[in-house]
Amino acid sequence: MPALRDPLIESAQTVPRVVDLSPTGGCGLVATLALGLGAFGALDAVRQNPDLQWSFFGSSVLLLVWSGVTFGQAHRQGRRLALEAVVRKHHLVQALAQLAFLLYWGWYWRPVYDAAFLVAAQLVFAYAFDMLLCWSRRDTYTLGFGPFPVIFSINLFLWFADDWFYLQFLLVGCGFAAKELIRWTKDGRRVHIFNPSSFPLALFSLALILTGTSDLTWGQDIAAAQFFPPHVYLVLFLVALPGQYLFGVASMTMSAVVVTYLFGLLYFGATGVYFFYDSYVPIAVFLGMHLLFTDPSTAPRTQMGRLLFGAFYGVSTVALYALLSRAGVPPFYDKLLQVPLLNLSIQWLDRLARSTRLRRVELGLGSLAVEGRRRNLAYAGLWAVVFTLMSAVQGVGDRHPGQWVPFWQGACADQRPSACQYLDNLQRRFCDTGSGWACNEVGLVARDSLVAEDAFGRGCDLGFAPACGNLTSLVSGREPVAFEQALPTLDDYPIILRGTKGPMVDRSPEALLAQACSQGWADSCGRRPIK
């Protein structure tokens, strides 16, 4: 079974241009970047938080000190340094896909745009750190777009809160250090083992889990907010498709998604509820399957190896989600922890793929056993067909039934596994968002009278009349046959009909009624809700 062509060799788009530098010139370049990083500390948004400001100042000082030591030593040794400008296509295509998704996501979740200057600061830090690390070990630094996909990828999955933002710079530094220092021989060449974004993400995720400090990050908010934009699965599929074709990684994504989806179908068939609750393949996991573990440099080179690589990613995501949830750990780490281990397996996967039995399987795929770009096109086309079919049956997309309250009400009534607990969590979230109906529902099922009193009180304050009556009955000590339960009002619908998506845009009564009817709300198809 022939191996795929190495994207690192074929993706250089121009003849390298080399610029000679003296140690003084190199020091000046890095010092400019370091001072530029420190200048971010003067921004109004940064000066309001001294901890955030010192993250920039401290990182800038460390880079300047390291620069003085590195270039001072180079000067004493009489070394000549060089910049080699190389544009690698896979870096550029990956970065453009990630940037496109960030821009689309940020249009519907403003914190992404608000954090743009923090992403820019990480890019400045990445270039300075990478230059220093390289020039401290050898004479030539390859200048290109390499840091862009690393920084964009990291920021698609994990941000540290402002008070702890210095850890974001440490995370970035770990990624570039791993790329430079942790290497092995593959196909006769010394290359890095780990994806430079997924390695630090996994390392820091493990540290956050072990120390119980997930609240230092925006990880959970990121995972939830990535589902806010409309048609987000389609957008992600489209922005990733050029890279899927050009670098032959569509097979990895396809096998990862299909394995996860098939497990979800089996789980639903066995339990009557959805494993991931509001989707078969959560959007944050779908994102990891497109723009995190698909780095061609740290993937298997055989196509069968890539199919297995993707399948293992899907299986491990399911296993990690179950393990983390059972341990009471935020499950958003499910797509991050396993990638370095998968990177370590790629040579074994390639050897396995070259075994006689698996070679026969690939030959049996017929048209997919061709070589080069034709093979890439065949797998990208097959993935497009699979994605279209999955979208048609709501395997992926905006309207998964697990988002809607009526599904969970029915599942809870049938006593399906975890259904009542998830329904209660949904209603508590809607209550916190301002739904009086949801607060009343929380009070109805509360086992603690103080919790019920608080929920009814909040519902009453929000203008939901049944909650006021239930609060009066509870406080007075009377023993009613049953507390009053009622249907949502027009004021509740914009909150509860959104499910786990972003805020609803069309809030007209007609649109709200139509949406409620499509979700299965009792009597909503023929009634006008209480106002």
Q: Give the amino acid at 135.
A: W
Residues 360 and 470 in one domain: no
Distance of CA 424 to the CA centre of its chain: 26
Beta bridge partner(s), residue 186: 189
372, 392, 412 - which closes a domain: 392
Q: Which two tokens stand for residue 147?
A: 């840091």
Nearest Cα to Cα of residue 396 among 236, 524, 255, 531: 236
C-beta of residue 420 within 8 angstroms of C-beta of residue 434: no
Residues 139 and 165 in one domain: yes
Does residue 2 form part of some domain? no
Residues 375 and 514 in one domain: no
What pLDDT, on a 0 to 100 scale, did the predictor assign at position 368? 52
* Residue linked to tokens 């649109």: 511
CB-side exposure of 192: number of CA atoms within 13 Å? 19
Q: Which two tokens stand for residue 425?
A: 């969590």
What pLDDT, on a 0 to 100 scale, did the predictor assign at position 98? 97
C-beta of residue 285 within 8 angstroms of C-beta of residue 316: no
338, 364, 392 - which closes a domain: 392
Residues 488 and 383 in one domain: no
252 vs 245: CA distance, rounded Å: 11
Does residue 315 form part of some domain? yes
**Where on the phi/psi map is residue 439: left (φ > 0), alpha (ψ -120 to 50), or beta?**
alpha
* Residue linked to tokens 């979700």: 519
C-beta of residue 67 within 8 angstroms of C-beta of residue 25: no
Handedness of CA 153, 154, 159, 163 (dihedral sign): negative
384 vs 374: CA distance, rounded Å: 15
Domain count, the chain: 2
303 vs 362: CA distance, rounded Å: 8
Does residue 527 form part of some domain? no
Does residue 358 form part of some domain? yes
316 vs 338: CA distance, rounded Å: 7
Residues 408 and 386 in one domain: no
C-beta of residue 145 within 8 angstroms of C-beta of residue 79: no
Residues 461 and 320 in one domain: no
Q: What's the distance, Cα to Cα, between the start and end of the chain in Å?
A: 68
Measured CA angle at 531 (ends 494, 516), to 5 deg: 40
SS3 132: helix
Residues 221 and 319 in one domain: yes
Torsion of CA 424, 429, 434, 440, to 10 degrees: 10
Does residue 159 form part of some domain? yes
Q: Which two tokens stand for residue 81?
A: 């340094």
363, 392, 421 - which closes a domain: 392
What pLDDT, on a 0 to 100 scale, did the predictor assign at position 375? 85
* Residue linked to tokens 């097979």: 251
Q: Which domain holds residue 164?
A: 7-392
Residues 382 and 498 in one domain: no
Residues 469 and 446 in one domain: yes
Q: At what angle do helices 166-181 and 116-135 cross, to 10 degrees?
A: 40
273 vs 402: CA distance, rounded Å: 8
C-beta of residue 280 within 8 angstroms of C-beta of residue 131: no
What pLDDT, on a 0 to 100 scale, did the predictor assign at position 506? 85
Does residue 422 form part of some domain? yes
Residues 184 and 238 in one domain: yes
- pTM higher than 0.75 for the full model? yes
What is the C-alpha R_g of the chain?
Answer: 27
What pLDDT, on a 0 to 100 scale, did the predictor assign at position 273? 97
Residues 299 and 433 in one domain: no
Nearest Cα to Cα of residue 52 among 148, 155, 121: 121
Angstrom distances, CA of residue 63 to CA of 68, 120, 128, 169 = 9, 17, 7, 11
Nearest Cα to Cα of residue 245 among 425, 82, 383, 421: 383
C-beta of residue 431 within 8 angstroms of C-beta of residue 459: yes
Residues 387 and 350 in one domain: yes
Does residue 528 form part of some domain? no
Does residue 398 form part of some domain? no
**Where on the phi/psi map is residue 164: left (φ > 0), alpha (ψ -120 to 50), or beta?**
alpha
One digit per residue, pLDDT tens: the chain, 531 residues?
A: 444 554 443 444 456 788 888 889 989 999 999 999 999 999 999 999 999 999 999 999 999 999 999 999 999 998 989 999 998 898 999 999 999 999 999 999 999 999 999 999 999 999 999 999 999 999 999 999 999 999 999 999 999 999 999 999 999 999 999 999 999 998 888 899 999 999 999 999 999 999 999 999 999 999 999 999 999 999 999 999 999 999 999 999 999 999 999 999 999 999 999 999 999 999 999 999 999 999 998 999 888 899 999 999 999 999 999 999 999 999 999 999 999 999 999 999 988 888 767 666 665 555 455 567 888 898 999 999 999 999 999 999 999 999 999 999 999 999 999 999 999 999 999 999 999 999 999 999 998 889 999 999 999 999 999 999 999 988 887 665 578 999 899 999 999 999 999 898 888 888 898 899 989 887 778 665 444
Angstrom distances, CA of residue 245 to CA of 94, 242, 376, 378, 379 = 12, 5, 5, 9, 8
CB atoms within 10 A of CB 270: 10
